[in-house]
Amino acid sequence: MREYVAEQLSDKVLTICELMNKPQYLPKIPTRLEITSVFDIRFPNCDPYLWRLDSEHGLRSTENISSGTSFVKKLFRDGLAFNIQ
């Protein structure tokens, strides 16, 4: 019973994460001209244009993604089983 609940919960959490990762839910970065209306520019070291975020998501093979997903599911299931006992 515990494993079933943990598995169902991990599936729901992963589904929510996948849905929220879609580009339609992520905010667009403003252009340099709009930056003063969006960010507080009094701190020049915190300027978002100084940093580059890079992700390899989507570039991996489906085998790696499925193994990563199964790892996260196992992590949730084991964590919940530990907390319930």
Question: If you average pLDDT over residues 79-83, what whole number do you get?
Answer: 59
Q: Given a cut of 80, is residue 46 above it in pLDDT?
A: no
Domain ranges, ordered by start, for the chain: 2-84
What are the Cα distances from residue 75, in Å, to 7, 30, 58, 69, 79?
10, 37, 22, 10, 6
C-alpha–C-alpha distance, residues 11 and 23, integer Å:
21
| pLDDT tens, residue by residue, 14-39 | 888 888 777 776 677 778 788 778 77
